[in-house]
Amino acid sequence: MVGFQILQRRRQVDARYVQAFADIPVANVSDCMTRLTAGGPRLRPMHKGGRLGGPALTVKCRPGDNLMIHKALDMAQPGDVIVVDAGGDLTNSLFGELMLSYAITRKLAGIVLNGAVRDIDVVSAGSFPLYAAGVTHRGPYKDGPGEINVPVAIDGMVIHPGDLMLGDADGLLCVPYDDVEQVLAASREKVALEQTTIANIRSGKHDTSWVDARLKALGCDPTPR
């Protein structure tokens, strides 16, 4: 029944890709995806520090209700990232200390919540990756509806079950399952290029002639008057 359904995840990114992206900044990956996709600036890391990476187990739930998030915690496999579309509503928190403790014992890779959390003192003191849109003490309801392992969207970023979720201090990004290999190759090239640029900056060999060339192409005289 639409609105109340629990599905199996049919595919997921291989663990070797999760590991391969572990040291690549999310900003570099984003650049290689034409800067067209993002999880929205509202979703920020609530934990003390540390990267997020793993296959998505998706949850769509009614704002203010976390019944299906509890079910997803039971279903998730070690290394999974539970991605919750709760409409971005911050009236009720959908995740707190007890659920966090359970997620850690389940060896999950992280939680992404387009909604609010509570028990922020505990969350912010730990290293378990948890991204959310806000904080409130008011607790959730457990009545549904909700769906598990269906496509969800967060601020225009569409996440399918099994896609690769990445997160660092800059924010969140979803790499679609079918694009992982291509994006990984491009991201590695991007990292290598930036390392070369940094080396040139430090050695005094950095070439900025492109700035004036760009200004001229746009019809702006780059010479100060």
Amino acid letter, 216: K
Would you say 119 is a known binding-site residue?
A: yes
The rounded distance, in Å, linking the Cα atoms of 24 and 209 is 28
Average pLDDT, the chain: 96
Average pLDDT over every residue of 61-71: 97
Q: Is the pLDDT score of 38 beyond 90?
A: no
Q: Is the pLDDT score of 1 beyond 80?
A: no
Q: What is the pLDDT of residue 41?
A: 85
The rounded distance, in Å, linking the Cα atoms of 72 and 95 is 12
Read off the tokens for 171: 């924010």
Question: Which pLDDT band holds residue 46 (cuts at 50, 70, 90)?
Answer: very high
* Helix, strand, coil tally for the chain in percent (to 5): 30, 25, 40
Sign of CA dihedral 46, 47, 51, 57: negative
Average pLDDT over every residue of 100-104: 98
Q: Any bridge partners for residue 147, and if so which?
A: 5, 60
Query: What share of the chain in percent tops pLDDT 70?
Result: 100
Question: Which pLDDT band holds residue 161 (cuts at 50, 70, 90)?
Answer: very high
Q: What is the pLDDT of residue 68?
A: 98
The rounded distance, in Å, linking the Cα atoms of 117 and 120 is 7
Would you say 89 is a known binding-site residue?
A: no
Compute CA 78 distance to the chain's CA centroid, rounded to the nearest angstrom.
17
The rounded distance, in Å, linking the Cα atoms of 162 and 40 is 20
Nearest by Cα to 99 from 75, 77, 125, 119: 119
Would you say 121 is a known binding-site residue?
A: no
Q: Is the pLDDT score of 104 beyond 80?
A: yes
Q: Is the pLDDT score of 151 beyond 90?
A: yes
**Residue 161 — left, alpha, or beta (φ > 0 → left; ψ -120 to 50 → alpha)?**
beta
Query: pTM to 2 decimals?
Result: 0.94
Would you say 96 is a known binding-site residue?
A: yes
